[in-house]
Amino acid sequence: MKKLLNILLIAVMIVSLAACGGKKEEEKKVIYVGTNAEFPPFEYLEDGKITGFDMELIREIAKETEMEIKIEDMSFDGLLPALQSKKVDIVIAGMTANEERKKAVNFTSPYYTASQVIVVKEGDTSINSFDDLKGKKVGVMLGFTGDLVVSEIEGVNIERYNASYAGIMALQSDKVDAVVLDSEPAKNYVAKNDGLAIAQANAEKEEYAIAVRKDDTELLEKLESGLKAVKDKGIYEELLKKYF
């Protein structure tokens, strides 16, 4: 009899513990946000903390929509695979919403318009268009849209780097003749490093948006309404002023 009572007691304990745990999880469902914090001013590390325009934007959106988020830093080309395999639920990383990616994931409406630019050594007048990259050694970042743009030009000697600062360093040490990068990070690097300039060349516009899994329509709507609220309240405008 005593044994039976003990077993019963343990069973009751297990059930109530499980219920408790389940409830806690429901109340506090953490939404994981993937980024690649090597893309100033959108996301970068400052004193070991991830900051930047995108990071403040997603934190404000989370506040508006009462989401608890946790930011995960990883390589840029690992972001969409991490989203697909549910390691993260959201990707915000200055990511261009291009046709190829739209096939795999859903994007919110765009939150920033950028373009690809060519960073050269100051005084280099030989590059005035993307066509001028023919025959040159050009640094791009693995999986960035700049990689796609340069890969389409025939006769370019492409060097691929894992992070934009690595490409910029290669340019500074003459390992490459130019680096193709998104406009804002490019401006940022040029401003902070001597001897670099942005070539006068026209490039197509690109739009950054926040990505979620295809089936996560609820989260997409939440992000959309959060983005709208952040814009309506003037927070978005403040962030633009702060970072650009």
Tell me the backbone φ, ψ of residue 154, rounded to 5 degrees.
-75, 145
Question: From residue 80 to residue 99, what is the string marking binding to ligand ARG with x (rule CB under 6 A)?
Answer: -------------xxxx---
Q: Does 167 bind ligand ARG (CB under 6 A)?
A: no
Please list every residue from 137 through 166 that binds ligand ARG, using CB under 6 A. Answer: 144-145
Q: Does 182 bind ligand ARG (CB under 6 A)?
A: yes
Q: Which is nearer to ligand ARG, 111 or 144 (CB)?
A: 144
Residue 184: CB minimum distance to ligand ARG, A: 10
Binding span for ligand ARG by CB under 6 A among 32-40, 83-91, 121-129, 187-195: 32-40
Q: Does 112 bind ligand ARG (CB under 6 A)?
A: no
Q: Does 189 bind ligand ARG (CB under 6 A)?
A: no
Q: Does 76 bind ligand ARG (CB under 6 A)?
A: yes
Q: Does 36 bind ligand ARG (CB under 6 A)?
A: yes
Contacts 24+ apart (CB under 8 A), 129-132: 129/201, 129/202, 130/180, 130/201, 130/203, 132/199, 132/201
Please list every residue from 212 through 231 that binds ligand ARG, using CB under 6 A. Answer: none
CA atoms within 13 A on the CB side of 244: 15
Tell me the backbone φ, ψ of residue 41, rounded to 5 degrees.
-90, 15
Q: Does 108 bind ligand ARG (CB under 6 A)?
A: no
Residue 135: CB minimum distance to ligand ARG, A: 25
Among 31, 34, 39, 239, binds ligand ARG (CB under 6 A): 39
Binding span for ligand ARG by CB under 6 A among 36-44, 103-111, 131-139, 209-217: 36-44
Q: Which is nearer to ligand ARG, 141 or 196 (CB)?
A: 141
One-letter amino acid at 9 equals L
Size of the site for ligand ARG (CB under 6 A): 13
Q: Does 43 bind ligand ARG (CB under 6 A)?
A: yes
Interacting residue ranges for ligand ARG, rule: CB under 6 A? 35-36, 38-39, 43, 76, 93-96, 144-145, 182
